[in-house]
Amino acid sequence: MRIGVLGAGAIGGFVGGCLLATEAEVTFVGRAARGAAWLKDGLRLILTAATTSSSPGELSIPMPSLPSGHAMSSS
């Protein structure tokens, strides 16, 4: 199943990141600057007792590279 996250800010990034952690195919749509940072540094989710029923911790997710022929746009 392909999942699109429109508005990949704080909430969309968290939800999409959790889906990526389950190996779902996720496409983020958001600001180019955020996408560039995610491609460079990956996505880091900090899970607290308020956000998870399992043990709190940190989840670092490397972002897959852009498919050939695709680019981020600032428009």
Planar angle of CA 59, 52, 10, nearest 5 degrees: 60
pLDDT score recorded for residue 45: 79
CB atoms within 10 A of CB 5: 20
pLDDT score recorded for residue 47: 73
Asked whether residue 61 carries a pLDDT value surpassing 80, the answer given is no
Report domain extents, the chain.
2-61
pLDDT score recorded for residue 63: 67
End-to-end CA distance of the chain: 28
Mapping DSSP to helix (H, G, I), strand (E, B) and coil, where does residue 27 land?
strand
pLDDT score recorded for residue 37: 84
| CA–CA separation, 71 and 44 (whole Å) | 22
pLDDT tens for each residue of 5-59:
988 888 888 888 888 888 888 888 888 888 888 888 888 877 776 655 556 577 6
